[in-house]
Amino acid sequence: MSHATLLSSPLKLRQLRQIPRLGPLLALQCADRPRRNYVAAANSHPAKIAVLGGGVSGLASAYYLAKAFPKSRITLFEKQKELGGWIKSKRVEVEGGDVLFETGPRSLRPGMWTWCTAELVEELGLISSVLYTPKESPAAKNRYIYYPDRLNQLPSSLDQITVSALAGLSTSGILGGIWSLFWEPLTPGRPAQLKDESIGSFISRRFDKRIANNLASAVFHGIYAGDIWQLSAKTLLSTAWKLEGFLGSVLKGYMGAQMDTRVENTVIPWNPYDVKVMQMIKNEIVLQEEFRAELSISSTYTFKGGLQQLTKELEVTLRENDRVEIRTDCPAQIADEPVAQDGPVRLLTGATPSTPEPFDLVISTLPQTSLTPYVTVMVVNLYYTSPTVLSQTGFGYLIPQSIPFEQNPERALGVIFDSEAVQGQDSAPGTKLTVMLGGHWWDGWQGYPDESEGVEMAKSVVRRHLGIEDTPETYLVTLSKDCIPQFTVGYEQRLKEFADEMVAKYRGRVRFVGNQVNGVGVNDCVRAAWMLGREVQGQGWREKSCGLERVANGDNWLLATAEGVEARPSFR
């Protein structure tokens, strides 16, 4: 996207013109465009850096910090024995070979907005291990929602919205309330005093409650395993929320942008920080041509050894660096005391901390109790020897909140058809499925199903929903306790207050990265670590910042085209 395109994006709608334009911000960026391979300015580096947490956010932060400060000593603390956090790929022997089970995140989305991860894949030498799922494959195109007692295929693109597709969907009742789309522009704008609300409430107010319960709740199960009546519309439907704020209507904003023939690409409001990141990615990341071409025709990608190949390779690279020390089985926390003008920050480390250890800069990827609650998900991987267990092809299906209890007493959130979604990880033929259970349905539970209960629940789900009577040859049950942060109503306000408090207390010597502050996707976490490396380099680490400027200064959004940034998937 050229700056000229970005800046010459007049819309017909008078109100859209009132949104601040990008000129001053971009002029600044052009004058001072960072180089691709930056090096820290001489004599300006923190001598000792600590990274708290050894999941993908911590590993990637340590990786980019080691590049930004070639002279600093970096210590990564992880309380578990193993690194990698929630990303775990396990190979299991079966008759005739082996199969790979993913117990957490399993694939990555390509697209420019996620190029930091793609660049990392390149730098770690992983391109030859990449497995692509083409955009044209059934796994990318066929996605289903279970409602009320059957799978309903969703259109994968606008041109798939045909009369017969809509008729099929509407006989199940899943499209109840769809006519509200036409009336939305006439619906009153939001009351001035409403500062945030749940996704359920926002969609009901602007469209129809049935759309919230039947469609949106399924999508948010697939990403957050969360409850749309608790998750924040301002945070998770941010563009729609802003459009309503600017124009009094979500559709007017989208339609106005689409209909403006002078603009090649859709113009929507963007958080100014995201525009800055987008520009940096565009200016700095140059992917290998062949890799970039493969990514452009793929809907997702992963690795032959599973997604854990990424965190394993990061670990190997960090261990090879003699300036990086990794301490596993070693919890660490920041001493609860204000930091003086030039630091240091003191850490309490080890199971029974004694003398605090001083560090010049600390990156925390650990959960902060004041910011979000978490949900617990049970992941049940099933393997059947028969390759023809499924009668549908596709990615899998999601289960909305509205389906009757008797259709989902196990409280499943969705089922992934793994052997369809990714090919090339297993040496044995057969069918692999993953059943996800729990999430917000288990809020407040003191205990959870055990392994044998989990597998019985998963078998019962696939028997009822997919008619699968076969017995799986093998399975793996993983309870991921408190694995996904929930950005509930009021999240942004809480994050702002947290950021102010952290800057005042630690004077910029403690920064925050991770799924609780940057988004729950692996790509979100890697991009945040990539940005951290750029923000702290040179004198940046001395600035009074805690790395949360996106939200702290994110009220006045900017108009930008989405060119170069992949549209977010509408199904998951």
Shortest reach from residue 107's CB to ligand LM7OVKF4, in Å: 4
Letter for the amino acid at 244?
E
Helix (H) or strand (E) holding 202: helix 199-206
**Which residue in the set 398, 532, 552, 565 belongs to the binding site for ligand LM7OVKF4 (CB under 6 A)?**
398
CB 536 within 8 A of CB 68: yes
Site membership for ligand LM7OVKF4, residue 379 (CB under 6 A): yes
Alpha-carbon distance of 153 to 146, in angstroms, equals: 9
Shortest reach from residue 210's CB to ligand LM7OVKF4, in Å: 21
The smaller minimum CB distance to ligand LM7OVKF4, of residues 144 and 541, is found at 144
Q: How many residues bind ligand LM7OVKF4 (CB under 6 A)?
A: 21
The smaller minimum CB distance to ligand LM7OVKF4, of residues 225 and 552, is found at 225
φ, ψ for residue 232, nearest 5 deg:
-80, 125
Site membership for ligand LM7OVKF4, residue 104 (CB under 6 A): yes
Tokens for 469?
């009577």
CA terminus-to-terminus distance, the chain: 27
- Identify the sign of the CA torsion 45, 48, 53, 59: positive
Return the residue nearest ligand LM7OVKF4 (CB atom): 414
Alpha helices in 228-271 (DSSP H): 233-236, 238-247, 250-259
Shortest reach from residue 103's CB to ligand LM7OVKF4, in Å: 8
The smaller minimum CB distance to ligand LM7OVKF4, of residues 106 and 242, is found at 106
Site membership for ligand LM7OVKF4, residue 400 (CB under 6 A): no
Shortest reach from residue 424's CB to ligand LM7OVKF4, in Å: 16
Alpha-carbon distance of 471 to 104, in angstroms, equals: 23
**Which residue in the set 133, 365, 516, 523 belongs to the binding site for ligand LM7OVKF4 (CB under 6 A)?**
523
Residues 6+ apart with CB under 8 A from 261: none
- State the DSSP code for 42: T
**238-277: contacts with ligand LM7OVKF4 (CB under 6 A):** none
Alpha-carbon distance of 13 to 5, in angstroms, equals: 18
Burial grade of 542 (CB within 10 A; 0-12, 13-18, 19 or more): middle
**203-242: contacts with ligand LM7OVKF4 (CB under 6 A):** 221-223, 225
Shortest reach from residue 390's CB to ligand LM7OVKF4, in Å: 15
**412-471: contacts with ligand LM7OVKF4 (CB under 6 A):** 413-414, 416, 436
* Interface with ligand LM7OVKF4 (CB under 6 A): 104-107, 109, 221-223, 225, 377, 379, 396, 398, 413-414, 416, 436, 520-521, 523, 572
